[in-house]
Structure 1
Amino acid sequence: MDQVAVRLQGLVQKRAHFQLGPIDLVIPAGYVTAIVGPNGSGKSSLFRLILDLAKPDRGEIEVLGKKVGSGDDRLLKQRIGYVSEKSIDIEENLRANQKADFERQWYPDWDVNRYQELLRRFDVETNLKLGKMSKGMRRKFDIALAMAHNPELLLLDEPSSGLDPIAWKTMIDVIHRYMERGDRTVVMASHIVDEVKRLADYIAFVIQGKVIGVYEKDSLLESWHVLYVDTGNSSERVNLAQMPGYCSAKVSGGTTHKVVTSEAQKAQSWLASMDIPVIGQQKLELDEILQVLMEQTRGA
């Protein structure tokens, strides 16, 4: 994480029924970071703050080395591509090619060949009015539009919403190819487990307006396990809550306990030192990890 694409420090945004933050978050440059959390956790609000489309009540935002909200940000935004979760209603009477003609004026690095290539790959009909497009077609057009100027930073809010399986696979491939140079960054909000597993290098969990943790994806998925242990005659002298990475435990039958840990290797070493056999184990999926974190947050 030597280079930073986005830095949020002490960020707070207050609304009547929701508070985002305080948040301290560093998003590394050159990687794909997925922001994962339940609906209403503040993911879309984070994107709007990063783009200066909304203002924080306090805190600082730095994007690509520039402080956000400090003046004319046109040059900064020319380095960013953004796909919003929701389409803009007032654009519905525009044809796709009209929208593209308008957008390209703002980007000196607009690459018409790249744009046409993306349209072909996504099979987008640009003579249609945006309001007449299916949700999936509009999504494909928005992705092509956001990537046409080869941005350094690509912000994707639920990018696969409405995509059919073929278009989804195309999107995955397009993003992989976009990242091949090594100097580009993607920040994406997604609730699609397979999408995050295929694309993300880092995962940031956002729950109830706060960043619960940022993890390297492969390490995260390797370290969170369910362990089935047989405490046998040791149940009276062993406190499973002392196990490294302990999250929860419940009786699975007799003297067998189902234990969730976020530090599987250390947990197994600890259990061995306590002469407690592990009789079964399995890795947790991303949505299961999120569920555990949500339960811990509620109980905090």
Structure 2
Amino acid sequence: MTDSVVEIAGLLQRRTHFELGPVELSIPKGCVTAIIGPNGSGKSSLFRLMLGLSKPDEGSLHLLGERLGERDDASLMTRIGYLPEGAIELDDRLSGEAKAAFVRQWYPGWNEAVYRELLRRFEINPALKLGRMSKGMRRKYDLSLALAHQPELLLLDEPSSGLDPIAWKTMIDVLHRYMERGDRTIVMASHIVEEVRRLADYIVFIVQGRILGIYEKDALLASWQTMYADAGGRDLAWQQMPGYRSGEMSGGTVYKVVTDQAFEAERWLDAQSVTVINRQKLELDEILVQLTEQARGVL
């Protein structure tokens, strides 16, 4: 990995019906990292902690080289952009222009030309009151606002929520262009598999408040496979296969097995004189299901 832009150590937050952590996580600079997990797994809670909107009970959190909460975080927050999961209803009576006029005074890096270009690309009329905008238009407006000061770190919580296919493609292009300089970082939470495939360099899995790991996306997708192996009726110790996650008979002498170490698993099968008759890479949502079930003690 490159230098880290987010460093979380021993972070623990306790709530009446939910506990986040302890979290150990290092997010690389200059990359897009996607945090994915089931609803209620702690993604939005983690974002709130990174923004200083809530406090941990234990542990530390460093952003852009500074420890959060050690002193006044106002200057640090000017280097961060944030798109929350839902629109802020208190802003509904403001026009887009009025909201921008209020926001720009807090960001020394505000770039009016970038802001106007984003409005043009997303086809937004800033004269409209925010409460009168459609869900998709409001989402595009809020993203434009988050990008207008060209933050070093951009936090996106379900960025494509409410976007139509054309707006979604525009968003993907806008975010790719934002990352072109190489020194900016995006941390995003998303349920959209194609969005993660198109944008992410790294993937963090979170289930029930626990971080299950951070993975380089391409290596992850290459290593998780379903294999259909014919052992000729022999009873093998399948659970000794490298990366074994689950398995079941699939008819006749064929065993269907899921592994997260495809290369090593194939070598093991070859050493057992087992023929692999078919293999399929798992999609991200299928990998998440496997990890979630294991975390919940199903597997």
Length-normalised TM-score, structure 2: 0.98
CA contact (8 A) 1:62 1:68 kept: yes
The residue number in structure 1 matching 2:203 is 203
1:74 has 2:74 as partner: yes
The residue number in structure 1 matching 2:254 is 256
CA contact (8 A) 1:225 1:281 kept: yes
1:1-300 matches, cutoff 5 A:
1-235=1-235, 238-299=236-297
Once the two structures are TM-superposed, the CA of residue 234 in structure 1 deviates from its matched residue by 2.1
Aligned Cα root-mean-square deviation (Å): 0.8
Once the two structures are TM-superposed, the CA of residue 75 in structure 1 deviates from its matched residue by 1.0
- C-alpha distance in 1 between matches for 2:198 and 2:130: 30
Once the two structures are TM-superposed, the CA of residue 231 in structure 1 deviates from its matched residue by 1.7
Q: Which moved more, 1:240-249 or 1:125-134?
A: 125-134
Deviations 1:244-300 (A, max 9, x none): 000000111122111000011110000000011111110000000000001111117
CA contact (8 A) 1:234 1:276 kept: no
Deviations 1:189-220 (A, max 9, x none): 00100000000000000001010011000000
Length-normalised TM-score, structure 1: 0.98
Gaps of 5+ in 1: none
Gaps of 5+ in 2: none
Once the two structures are TM-superposed, the CA of residue 2 in structure 1 deviates from its matched residue by 3.4
SS of alignment partner, residue 21 of structure 1: strand
Once the two structures are TM-superposed, the CA of residue 233 in structure 1 deviates from its matched residue by 3.6
- C-alpha distance in 1 between matches for 2:92 and 2:134: 12
- C-alpha distance in 1 between matches for 2:222 and 2:262: 8
- C-alpha distance in 2 between matches for 1:17 and 1:74: 31
SS of alignment partner, residue 299 of structure 1: coil
Question: Percent identity between the aligned chains?
Answer: 61
SS of alignment partner, residue 253 of structure 1: coil
Once the two structures are TM-superposed, the CA of residue 114 in structure 1 deviates from its matched residue by 0.4
Find runs of 4+ consecutive structure 1 residues off by over 4 angstroms: none
- C-alpha distance in 2 between matches for 1:190 and 1:40: 13
